[in-house]
Amino acid sequence: MKEQIKNLKSMIDACYTYEGAERDSYNYHTYIKKFEDILGSVLFEEVYTGYLKYLKDNFTIEQSIYTDSDGLTYNSLKFNKQYEQANI
């Protein structure tokens, strides 16, 4: 079960970084929601809501930080150090 939770969090990371992980997003319905069948609705809800809140509270999305040789651009999550210092 730990591996499936880790995989869900990884998927939420990716979706949050690219186009969003909210319930009304394409990413949620296409990539995230399938984990509900694997984890069960109670555990899925706990992990999904908790981890999405963690990302929103602690990270900023940096867009177009890198462009590869095919012209594809990449985003990144940057830890919000101001938040860390404010909560010490």
Instruction: Supply the pLDDT for residue 81.
Output: 75
Instruction: Supply the pLDDT for residue 86.
Output: 54
Beta carbons of 57 and 14 less than 8 angstroms apart: no
Instruction: Supply the pLDDT for residue 83.
Output: 52
Phi, psi for residue 69 in degrees, rounded to 5: -65, -15
The model carries a pTM of 0.86
User: Domain coordinates of the chain in residue numbers?
Assistant: 2-86
Which tens digit of pLDDT belongs to each residue from 8-59?
999 999 999 998 999 999 999 999 999 999 999 999 999 999 999 999 999 9
Whether the predicted pLDDT of 88 surpasses 50: no
Instruction: Supply the pLDDT for residue 82.
Output: 64
Phi, psi for residue 40 in degrees, rounded to 5: 90, 155
